[in-house]
């Protein structure tokens, strides 16, 4: 990997130090709401009951994001229809408008040092590129995009060769599993469940397809529980959109082989296997039954940044409410949210299943033979 790619990866990693995905939880430090670790969802909003918060104006939403060089990020977020700031010396403070794109931190106007002032800067297209805090410019950051750029810059993107090499390797040997594998296809579980299997297309962080077909399977108890969640959400006006579920072990090996060594913190080690390999992990989001469109959450799917944490304070009240609704529904059915990914849920008892390596084609044949 080139020095330029390594440098970019280092910058991205310094911002989200300790953050890793695909079933390898680590400690992390995140700008969460006070006492977030002790409260459901960790956000400053109430738990998802009652009416969903209104989405703030487009102008307000355009300023929401993370700003700053290196590790020192300031999060600008919305709560109760007003902008707030957290990070650096700002501790979940309210921003009061003082003019077009100009704000002051509430409570500092009468301080002896003068008010803390923030001024947002837009480019010619109207995109907010930076915030100036008391004269210091803080660039807007998309850490998730920076990490993906670093990963893709060093990828070995030859799917056919990667697949052949991974299929030639055997999964790690483990003690006999406590429960037998019983994978079932999710397409027939509940009619409101929709699918956007990202690893069967190029629309994923690797940039090329890793699955031969866009299928989704889970162990039977987990699939039944997901059906109950879908039924409950349907009564509330939402559907489930599945991004990923069972992942054959050889695909985990493909991730590992394709990813440059400096970026392997972001993929599961095939020597250990993953919860997806065991058929007990599902990645998903909500979509509106009224519009058929996915709901906006606090981050993109598979985003490698702190915005992906299930208790990240940023974004809008509506996004956090929807994220917390999804979590509440899933946890009530026996799933547990993954600490660094709001979209990833593990079914209780995943440790009892062995690592699976069957291809989707083989699973389809097996299911067809049972009918």
Q: Is the pLDDT of residue 108 over 50?
A: yes
Write down the pLDDT at residue 10.
Answer: 43
Write down the pLDDT at residue 369.
Answer: 65
Q: Is the pLDDT of residue 243 over 90?
A: yes
Write down the pLDDT at residue 109.
Answer: 58
Q: Give the orientation angle of helix 317-332 with respect to helix 220-234, to 10 degrees.
A: 130
Instruction: Read off the pLDDT band of 112 (50, 70, 90).
Output: low
Which of 111-120, 184-193, 283-292 is predicted least confidently? Answer: 111-120
Instruction: Read off the pLDDT band of 114 (50, 70, 90).
Output: low
Instruction: Read off the pLDDT band of 88 (50, 70, 90).
Output: confident
- pLDDT tens readout for residues 311-321: 999 999 999 99
Q: Is the pLDDT of residue 16 over 80?
A: no
Give the position of tokens 């090996």. Answer: 253
Nearest to 9 by CA among 137, 139, 145: 145
Q: Is the pLDDT of residue 262 over 90?
A: no
Mean pLDDT of the chain: 86
Mean pLDDT along residues 161-168: 93
- 77-113 burial, b at 16+ Cβ within 10 Å, e below that, comes to bbbeebbbbbbbebebbebbeeeebebbbeebeeeee
**Count of residues for the chain?**
371
Write down the pLDDT at residue 260.
Answer: 85
Mean pLDDT along residues 134-155: 92
Write down the pLDDT at residue 236.
Answer: 96
**What pTM, to 2 d.p., does this model score?**
0.86
Write down the pLDDT at residue 36.
Answer: 35
341 is catalytic: yes
Instruction: Read off the pLDDT band of 156 (50, 70, 90).
Output: confident
- Domains of the chain (ranges plus CATH)? 31-141 (2.40.128.50), 158-369 (3.30.1380.10)
Handedness of CA 345, 347, 352, 358 (dihedral sign): negative
Answer with the residue of higher pLDDT: 97 or 33: 97
Give the position of tokens 């002896």. Answer: 112
Q: Is the pLDDT of residue 6 over 50?
A: no
Mean pLDDT along residues 77-95: 94
Write down the pLDDT at residue 157.
Answer: 76
Spatial separation of the C-alpha atoms in residues 250 and 359, rounded to whole Å = 9
Distances (CA, A) of 111 to 83, 104, 106: 21, 12, 11
Q: Which of 295, 303, 319, 341 is catalytic?
A: 341
Percent residues over pLDDT 70 in the chain = 83
Q: What distance lies between CA 206 and its chain's CA centroid? A: 15
């Amino acid at each position: 990997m080139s020095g330029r790619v390594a440098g970019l990866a280092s910058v991205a990693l310094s911002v989200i130090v300790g953050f890793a995905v695909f079933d390898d939880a680590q400690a992390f430090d995140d700008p969460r709401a006070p006492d977030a670790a002790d409260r459901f969802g960790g956000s400053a909003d109430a738990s998802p009951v009652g009416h969903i918060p209104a989405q703030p104006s487009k102008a307000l939403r355009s300023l929401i994001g993370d700003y700053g060089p290196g590790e020192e990020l300031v999060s600008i977020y919305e709560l109760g229809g007003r902008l707030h700031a957290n990070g650096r010396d700002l501790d979940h403070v309210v921003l009061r408008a003082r003019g077009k794109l100009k704000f002051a931190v509430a409570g500092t106007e009468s301080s002896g040092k003068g008010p803390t002032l923030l001024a947002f800067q837009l480019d010619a297209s109207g995109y907010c590129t930076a915030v100036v805090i008391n004269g210091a410019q803080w660039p807007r950051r998309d850490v998730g995009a920076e990490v993906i750029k670093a990963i893709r810059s060093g990828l070995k993107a030859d799917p056919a060769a990667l697949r052949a090499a991974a299929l030639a390797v055997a999964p790690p040997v483990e003690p006999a599993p406590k429960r037998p594998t019983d994978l079932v296809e999710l397409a027939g579980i509940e009619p409101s469940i929709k699918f956007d299997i990202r690893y069967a297309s190029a629309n994923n962080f690797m940039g090329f397809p890793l699955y031969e077909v866009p299928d989704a399977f889970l162990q039977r108890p987990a699939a039944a529980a997901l059906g109950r969640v879908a039924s409950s959400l349907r009564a509330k006006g939402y559907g489930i959109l599945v991004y990923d579920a069972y992942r054959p072990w050889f695909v985990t090996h493909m991730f590992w082989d394709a990813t440059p060594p400096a970026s392997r913190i972001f993929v599961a080690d095939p020597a250990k296997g993953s919860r997806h390999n065991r058929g007990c992990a599902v990645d998903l989001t909500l979509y509106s039954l009224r519009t058929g469109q996915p709901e906006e959450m606090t981050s993109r799917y598979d985003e490698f940044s702190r915005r992906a944490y299930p208790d990240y304070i940023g974004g809008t009240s509506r996004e956090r409410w929807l994220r917390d609704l999804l979590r509440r529904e899933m946890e009530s059915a026996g799933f547990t949210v993954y600490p660094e990914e709001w979209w990833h849920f593990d079914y209780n008892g995943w440790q009892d299943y062995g690592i699976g390596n069957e291809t989707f084609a083989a699973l389809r044949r097996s299911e067809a033979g049972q009918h």
